[in-house]
Chains A and B, each alone.
Chain A
């Protein structure tokens, strides 16, 4: 599963391969991948949160006043900030606390790149779940199209 998530996240190339190694769970002794793969955690989180956010929009907020692309986007972006911030803070904290293999070159730019990658995939998932949920919605069945 780690490989799957890693491949998908790294497709975007918004951050360095070294950060990728760290996120695969490369331990601080630079010996093995046993430090716990953050890719899995964040991958599952964005799956779960985007599912919940879509459900919230299409069922919980199923009222005409929320029927607009703008409001749908806002729900996506606001809920997307959760994994975005979490991934940003997690990597920032690792960098600040030097919690990664010293052989890896990880910069602050990588932190932003990874956070934006997470946000991007989150929004993709939010969009895919939207296509699934929109048919069960009463008022938002024409959202996003």
Chain B
């Protein structure tokens, strides 16, 4: 089974991975059945970064739910999100070498705790001429920068500090578990500090690995893709913050030129994606830490889709390698925000059905399931639901985070609102997909017309009849939901037929 090693560098890396987790929960998967494992490796010096911690919490929650889900009849929570630590046990002797935190997806940077750049470089122990050279390259502000909260939009600092990938324990573990068919994808932003500097530095370490590193030949020739996120938001310019969003465009231009000359032109990557949005929202200026928690954004969502596009691309033919594609999402005239119908056909085909199915399931969980006390409802009785099982609490928490995430995307600029989540009429669940009107079934007899949730229950009962009775409780519930929602989107013509 081929694996995808997914490097998320900096805050944008963590945020895009958050979108990936929600897409994976909805059942979006890679076209090839040979690949169903992603190993997210989030690299951020800022341990307390709000976005980072939110993403890690989400991945852990995803995995706890996934462990309670059966996949023979279901695509929800299908992709495996594994920790590189998981592979330590497979490799002789490696486990004992590894001291990185168990069950962590975040890899911090070594030797930066309580240090500024000056301390990190041991500037005071350098010769006078070296010190003078460094003072020429770095301003006093740069040298005094506390490295624990990232590089505050300074890629020149990042490129120094991050240039230690090959010594890091997680990198050794990554190398040891790398197989010839595995792929690598790197997510970073181009206009900040950590991502902009981390991406080329990491790529350099991947394409020119130290020969002492295990599997260095596989890594050197691996299929590597990357997304570089161009500016898509602005920051309030405050006196106290060293990050100035007015510099985003100029930094982007410089970095793009650097990338072109050193990465694209020299064919270091099999695939590169660029994405951006002018006229984005203005966020509160946070240099890092807990307060750096940006609202989910459509650009990050679209960035997460690039991971699927990369994994679905066949790089064995030269034709694909040289292909350039431009994709846009555009407003329809009827809504002042983006909806699922604004996406490209390719993206709709990939995600529309899955997202709608997942959304319908979450609505059922929140609006309908707590009200079902009728033990005579066949699917409920046959599923033997035990809501005291901790996985239900996990699912509840996951759904709360999912709704918060949907609200954030809907409130952001550009707004992306695939679903109506705060409508007063909770009963018309099939009408909660923006820009897609459900097909109303006509029945000759009015008493046979069913309201949405009744119809949902009817389909659940039908699906339950066809589903094996061997599994029960949460496993069966999720499989049942997957079948039922697949039937619903077909019956109500909410599905994307292309």
Which residue numbers of A lie inside 8 Å of B, CB to CB? Answer: 61, 63-65, 67-69, 138-139, 141-143
Contacts and interface: CB of A to CB of B under 8 A. Distances in A.
Nearest to A65: B454
Given A139-B457, A142-B381, A143-B376, 10 more contacts: A64-B450, A64-B454, A65-B450, A67-B376, A67-B377, A68-B374, A139-B377, A141-B461, A142-B376, A142-B378
A63 B450 contact: yes
B497 interface: no
Contacts of A141: 378, 461, 465
Given A64-B454, A65-B454, A139 B378 contact: yes
A67 B377 CA distance: 7
Nearest to A141: B378
Contact of B461 (A68, A69, A139): A139
Given A67-B374, A67-B376, A139 B381 contact: no
B426 interface: no
Interface residues of B, number: 15
Contacts of A63: 448, 450, 454, 458
A51 B302 CA distance: 59
Give me the 5 closest cross-chain CB pairs, A-B, nearest first.
Answer: A64-B457, A142-B376, A139-B461, A141-B378, A64-B454
B384 interface: no
B220 interface: no
Contacts of A139: 377-378, 457-458, 461
B374 to A, nearest CB: 7
Contact of A138 (B376, B454, B458): B458
A64 B453 CA distance: 9
8 contacts: A63-B450, A64-B377, A64-B454, A64-B457, A139-B461, A141-B461, A142-B381, A143-B376
Contacts of B376: 67-69, 142-143
Contacts of A65: 450, 454
Contacts of A68: 374, 376
B54 interface: no
B462 interface: yes
Interface string B373-393: 011111001000000000000
Q: DSSP class of B's interface residues: helix, strand, loop or mixed?
A: helix
Interface string B432-451: 00000000000000011010
B344 to A, nearest CB: 38
A63 B458 CA distance: 7
B465 A138 contact: yes
A63 B378 CA distance: 12
A68 B378 CA distance: 11
Contacts of B381: 142
A101 B376 CA distance: 51
B444 to A, nearest CB: 12
Interface in B296-348: none
Contact of A142 (B377, B447, B457): B377
Contacts of A143: 376
A132 B458 CA distance: 21
A63 B447 CA distance: 10
A64 B378 CA distance: 10
Nearest to A63: B450
Most central of A61, A64, A68 by chain B CB within 10 Å: A64
Interface in B340-360: none
Nearest to A61: B447
Nearest to B372: A64
B92 to A, nearest CB: 54
Scoring B381, B447, B461 by chain A CB atoms within 10 A of each residue's CB, the highest score goes to B461
Nearest to B380: A142
A138 B459 CA distance: 9
B349 to A, nearest CB: 32
Nearest to A145: B376
A142 B378 CA distance: 6
